[in-house]
Structure 1
Amino acid sequence: MKVVLNKRGKWLLGGAALLLTATPSFALFGIGDIVFDPTSYASLVSQLTTLQTQYTMLKNNIEHFSLKSQWQTTLHALENVNVRNVFGETNGMTTALNSNSPSASSTAWTAASVPLSSDSTTYLQTQSIGSSQLSQLAMIEASDAASPDCMTAVGQYRAARAANTTANSSLAGSQLDGSTATNSEVQQLNLLNAAEAQKMSEMQSQGALATCVASQMMLTNMQQRNAAAADLNTAAFVQVQRSTNDVSAANEGNTWQTYLP
């Protein structure tokens, strides 16, 4: 049977054939100028998702904490030490322990330590290097050099701690600020850098104190070492004298004046 299509039927048949052979891009509502491409749509959705992720990340970067006070600690200030001075025996010590004053430290140590007499100086001139007497003199001289330096280090630390109180409090206030004034990413990084700088200053001051402690330990070890060496030397000297000198009662008429018990 022969089918005869009118003009309208031909148009419908042609449109159906066009739809069956269409590419992913096709016209909407029969208007050829408006084309829908599924591939481009998927790419646009992916781009929008990426932008959304970036926006969320940036938003989190500038997000600030509003309850920072829960991290706040108290800065313990060092109180000034006041050394009693009744007869002038500690002249300069209070100043030395509270400020960076090497001259006050030297004055205080000289006033508080026992000096060597002129007779001791004359006696020590007859001694040789390595003797017990000159070893003790070396310990005294090392102590006279290191101890005033330690007093200066303590005073310097106290003075610096007091001077840095304002800067430390200001930094702590900015770190604990819950407003948007100090909570941008760059501002927070600047606060971290400032905190690291303050930490470095504190470590340097602590290093000076650690050096002082090490020098005092050296002096203590020197004293203990010299005392131990003197004991050994005395024991050896007594042994030699006892082996060369008869100390029995039969020879008691010959009194030994240099005997060491």
Structure 2
Amino acid sequence: MKLMMTKRNKYLLTGGLLLLTATPSFALFGIGDIVFDPTSYASLVSQLTTLESQYKMLQNNITHFSLKQQWQTTLNAMKNANVGNLFGETSGMSIALNTNSPSASATAWTAGTIKVSGSTSTYLQGQTPGSAQLSQLAMIEASDSISPDCLTAVGQYRGARTQNVTANNTLASQQFDSSDGTNTEVEQLNLLNAAEAQKMSEMQSQGVLQACLASQMTVANMQQRNAAAQDLNTAAFVQQQRSTNNVSAANESNTWQTYIP
């Protein structure tokens, strides 16, 4: 009996070894239509693991944030400009500063500035470019061109900011919404694109204002430069006249009376 059991064990051991050394695809229990392929099984497990990882990633992408409000800021509204106009001296100024109205800007600038009279124009006809008088006229003409445009730029910015309040608030509301509907990956990407578009519009609007500031600084620099040049010219003229006309006490009879002190 012991000998028979030993042989049986040998048979089982041999069969097990044959099973382990079999080809990747083989029949189970002698039934030809039931086949086990270890290679295909391992590939299937790998695919299922990958799908599970992708599913978890997608699930995380649609999970909403519940504490978005901690990032929310407030859009400050701009107060409309209200310029006093007691005698018509600022006619159109309030409209120019609050709306996109080039005509109101031109009217306001003309009403609030000193005009060059006809007699002054006649006097200036005898001057040459580069003279003190024509330099002053050039500054006035540059300012008359730039300043109305700057008034319009300010009005455009104020008007556009007021018009954009609804769009800005809507975007902010959706960005900080914590529901699932606005927290999908596609929705969040759309919101990012919308925010970038709004940022671009704001930068372009501010670019117009910056160009206006640069223009105004150019006119202001022209005025300061002309004033400095005029001072130097006056000092040189006075020095020349003092050298030519002795004004000391010993020569009072030769004192020159028309020089600029």
Scaled by the length of structure 2, what TM-score is found? 0.88
Matched, 1:17 2:35: no
In 2, Cα distance between the equivalents of 1:260 and 1:218? 30
Cα deviation, residue 202, structure 1: 0.6
Q: How does 1:65-84 map to 2 (within 5 A)?
A: 65-84=65-84
Matched, 1:256 2:256: yes
Q: How does 1:1-261 map to 2 (within 5 A)?
A: 14-22=11-19, 23=21, 30=29, 32-33=31-32, 34=34, 36-254=36-254, 256-261=256-261
Which residue identity lines up with residue 18 of structure 1 in the other structure?
G
In 1, Cα distance between the equivalents of 2:249 and 2:10? 150
In 1, Cα distance between the equivalents of 2:18 and 2:37? 15
Cα deviation, residue 21, structure 1: 3.0
Unpaired runs of at least 5, structure 1 = none
The alpha-carbon distance between structure 1 residues 69 and 166, as it changes in their structure 2 partners (threshold 3 A), is same
| SS at structure 1 position matched to 2:198 | helix
Cα deviation, residue 11, structure 1: 7.6
| SS at structure 2 position matched to 1:21 | helix
In 2, Cα distance between the equivalents of 1:220 and 1:128? 23
Moved over 6 A (4+): 8-12
Deviates more, 1:242-251 or 1:221-230: 242-251
Which residue identity lines up with residue 100 of structure 1 in the other structure?
N
Unpaired runs of at least 5, structure 2 = none
Cα deviation, residue 31, structure 1: 5.2
What whole-Å deviation, never above 9, does each CA across 1:175-199 have from its counterpart, x for those lacking one? Answer: 1111122211111111111111111
8 Å Cα contact 2:96/2:152 also seen in 1: yes
What whole-Å deviation, never above 9, does each CA across 1:83-109 have from its counterpart, x for those lacking one? Answer: 000011000001100101111111111
Which residue identity lines up with residue 96 of structure 1 in the other structure?
A
Deviates more, 1:60-69 or 1:192-201: 60-69
Cα deviation, residue 130, structure 1: 0.5
Cα deviation, residue 246, structure 1: 2.3
What whole-Å deviation, never above 9, does each CA across 1:153-206 have from its counterpart, x for those lacking one? Answer: 001100000011111111111111111222111111111111111111111110
| SS at structure 1 position matched to 2:195 | helix
Which residue identity lines up with residue 124 of structure 1 in the other structure?
L
Deviates more, 1:160-169 or 1:57-66: 57-66
Cα deviation, residue 247, structure 1: 2.2
What whole-Å deviation, never above 9, does each CA across 1:57-80 have from its counterpart, x for those lacking one? Answer: 111222221332222211111111
The alpha-carbon distance between structure 1 residues 16 and 250, as it changes in their structure 2 partners (threshold 3 A), is closer
Q: How many residues align?
A: 256
Which residue identity lines up with residue 108 of structure 2 in the other structure?
A
| SS at structure 2 position matched to 1:253 | helix
Which residue identity lines up with residue 57 of structure 1 in the other structure?
M
In 2, Cα distance between the equivalents of 1:71 and 1:172? 10
Which residue identity lines up with residue 75 of structure 1 in the other structure?
L
In 2, Cα distance between the equivalents of 1:13 and 1:239? 131
| SS at structure 2 position matched to 1:252 | helix
Which residue identity lines up with residue 15 of structure 2 in the other structure?
L
What whole-Å deviation, never above 9, does each CA across 1:97-127 have from its counterpart, x for those lacking one? Answer: 0101111111111111111122221221111
